[in-house]
Each structure stands twice: as structure tokens, then as C-alpha cells.
Amino acid sequence: MLLLTCPHCGIDADETELSPGGEAHLTRHGPGATDEDVEAYLFLRDNPRGVHLERWRHANGCGKWFVAARCTVTLEVFGTYPAQTARPPQHVLDAIEAKRPGATRKLPVMEGAR
Amino acid sequence: MSDAMVLDGARAEGLATVREVPAPGLIALKGDLGAPALADAVRAVTGCAVPGLRRIEAAGAARAGWMAPDELLLVAPREAVPGALSTLEARLAAAHHLAADVSDMRAVFRLEGQGAREVLAKLAPVDLAPGAFEPGELRRTRLAQVPAAFWMEQGGFTLVCFRSVARYAFDLLAGAAAPGGEVGHFA
């Protein structure tokens, strides 16, 4: 059972109060994009063994979307932040690095940030 | 049957008393909760300040509850709702907002008695221990499989859910309050 802190209302929400929204920080490729980009946006998802950034919605609560950084192996949660964030905030990156050195560099969203 | 009630005032006794009460006037107000215009409008309609995070403010029979970072639930007598909506519209004319009368979309229950905390704790993933949940806080959560919101007042809980699931919610509460189902966790 996951307990995620909703960054919008501050509640330590039980997993059953939330709806999962899949991988976070996808780039939405729309009209004019290449077929490969549209395919990747629609269908191709990371399924890492380790640190993952994923979208959750506080469905049975404030109704807002947020992103959780957690480990898919240990279920350890490194932090949550509002979905209106283009990149993970520094305190979340620091929390990941403290436990999993080097892991943030492997996050797809951090490509190009290096 | 009154329009304000779905289950004709259904009532169940047990660890706690569960009863349906007439839904008061309920207004869902969305907008920028930090805006002075919105604070003025909320005060004009309910007499309450804009509630802080997860709080509910009271003034007489009126309430203003925090539902989301951009949404409030305003409670007022039913007959005051049309006037309240025009007041909101007038005061928020220049601001991006939404005010909707949702009185007929909700069912309202009261949960009273010694076991009220325990009955609710059986159904919602919320820490309802004395000290952890107290009057003044509004919690939106789920009641088994349906969304609900509740707060404490007058020695019990007031619980609001969608009208379409009123029977389900009442049966849940009545079942959780059935005699013999004591857990005694908060005793």
C-alpha cells in the first residue's frame, strides 16, 4: 500500500484515494509531429526497475494531479510535487540522489538538462 | 418526500445514529481563492472568511469549506441560494470563476453518538482519532467506493455525498454502525 502526500492539499493520501496516471513528463507531440514522435507519445512508456516519476490524481480528494517520485522496487517515495511542473524540483532530485546516487541522470525528463 | 431528501429521512441506530437530513443550499464556487474579490463575495454570501487549507468556516447556519486549491463549498439555507448566486455573480463579474447551485445534486447525512468516529473510520482512509481530526477541518475522501466529504460540528459529523449514491452511502453507514460491530479503537 502506497501513502503519497498530495502537494495540493497536504493529505497523506492512501493509495485507494488516488488514481494512477502513468508515466510523468511526457512530451505531447501533436499536429505536425513525425509519426515516430506521435507513436512514442501515445504508446511507448518507460518501465524502469528503480526510480520512476509517475502521475497521480487525488481523485477522491482535492481532485488535483501531482507527480510522485518513487522506487518501483522498494516502493520508497522520494517526494511529490504538483503536475504543473516541467521538471522535478531540486529537493526531489536531491532526495533521489541521496538514496540512489546517479539515478536522476537516467530519468528521461532529465535528458538535455545535463 | 421533500426534494431536499433522497431517502425520506432514513435513520439507523447502532454504535452511532445515522440519519439523512435535508440538504441545505449548497454552492460550488471555483475561482482564485487568494483574490480579494472572492473573499468579499464569500463574506457577502456566507459571512465567513475564505477557509484555509482543508478548513471549514462557520457563521450561523452558513459554512464555507475548502474543497480544493481552487474550489469552495458554500452552505446556506436553500431559500438564500438564488440571492447568493446573484451576489456572487455581481461581485465576481470581473474574475474568472464558476458558481453553481449543487443543492439538488447532493445527499447529506448526520452521524452522531459515541461511535461516530469509529463508524466513519471503518469506511474512509482517514485518521479519525481524537486530536487528528477535529471540528474546523473538512475532509474530502472516499466512503468505501464513493466520494464523500465530511466535517465535525455539533458533536457529530455532517457528511455530504452525491445524491445518486445516497442509498449506497446510507447502507454503508448503517452497516458500519450496526450493533455488535464495535471495534473500540478510539475508546
Residue of chain B whose alpha carbon sits nearest to that of A12: B126
pLDDT-based confidence at residue A114 (cuts at 50, 70, 90): very low
- Choose between B86 and A114: higher pLDDT: B86
Q: In sequence order, which residues have a C-beta less than 8 Å from that of residue B181 and are 6 or more positions away?
A: B14, B15, B122, B175
Domain shared by B155 and B112, yes or no? yes
Q: From chain A, pick out residues whose CB is under 8 angstroms from the CB of B53.
A: 9-10
The answer to whether the CB atoms of A9 and B125 lie below 8 A apart is: no
Question: Percent of chain B having pLDDT more than 70?
Answer: 99
- Structural domain boundaries, residue B51: 25-104
Residue ending a domain, among B58, B77, B104, is B104
CA distance B118 to A52: 37
What own/partner pairs with CB < 8 Å and gap ≥ 24 does B139-144 have?
B139/A11, B139/B54, B140/A60, B140/A61, B140/A62, B140/B67, B140/B68, B141/A17, B141/A60, B141/A61, B142/A16, B142/A17, B142/A60, B143/B169, B143/B172, B143/B173, B144/B168, B144/B172
A60 to chain B, closest Cα gap in Å: 5
Domain shared by B88 and B147, yes or no? no
User: For chain B, what is the mean pLDDT?
Assistant: 96
Residue ending a domain, among B104, B122, B143, is B104
The answer to whether the CB atoms of B68 and A16 lie below 8 A apart is: no
Domain shared by B87 and B139, yes or no? no
Q: From chain A, pick out residues whose CB is under 8 angstroms from the CB of B68.
A: 8-9, 62-64
The answer to the question of residue B127 being in a domain is yes
Question: Which ipTM did the prediction report?
Answer: 0.90
- Structure confidence by residue, pLDDT tens digits, A14-71: 999 999 999 999 999 989 999 999 999 999 999 999 999 999 999 999 999 999 999 9
The answer to the question of residue B185 being in a domain is no
Domain shared by B18 and B42, yes or no? no
Domain shared by B83 and B109, yes or no? no
Domain shared by B150 and B109, yes or no? yes
The answer to the question of residue B183 being in a domain is no
3-state secondary structure at position A52? strand
Domain count, chain B: 2
pLDDT at A111 over 90: no
- Structure confidence by residue, pLDDT tens digits, B47-97: 999 999 999 999 999 999 999 999 999 999 999 999 999 999 999 999 999
pLDDT-based confidence at residue A1 (cuts at 50, 70, 90): confident
Domain shared by B93 and B76, yes or no? yes
The backbone torsions φ and ψ at residue A53, rounded to the nearest 5 degrees and listed phi first, read -105, 125
The answer to the question of residue B81 being in a domain is yes
Domain shared by B96 and B115, yes or no? no
Nearest residue to B102 via CA among B79, B83, B75, B70:
B75
Residue ending a domain, among B60, B76, B104, is B104
The answer to the question of residue B71 being in a domain is yes
* CATH top-level class of A3-110: alpha beta
CA distance A20 to A22: 6
Residue of chain A whose alpha carbon sits nearest to that of B52: A9
pLDDT (average), residues B147-160: 97
B71 to chain A, closest Cα gap in Å: 9
- Taking residue A87's Cβ as centre, other Cβ atoms within 10 Å add up to 15
The answer to the question of residue B4 being in a domain is no
Domain ranges for chain A, please list them: 3-110
CATH number for position B46: 3.30.70.1520
Best to test chain A binding among B98, B133, B142, B146 (most A CBs inside 10 Å):
B142
Report yes or no: A40 at the B interface, CB cutoff 8 Å: no
pLDDT-based confidence at residue B169 (cuts at 50, 70, 90): very high
The answer to whether the CB atoms of B140 and A60 lie below 8 A apart is: yes
Q: What angle do CA B30, A3, B159 make, to 5 degrees?
A: 45
Supply the pLDDT for residue B2.
Answer: 53
pLDDT (average), residues A82-93: 95
Domain shared by B71 and B34, yes or no? yes
The answer to whether the CB atoms of B141 and A9 lie below 8 A apart is: no
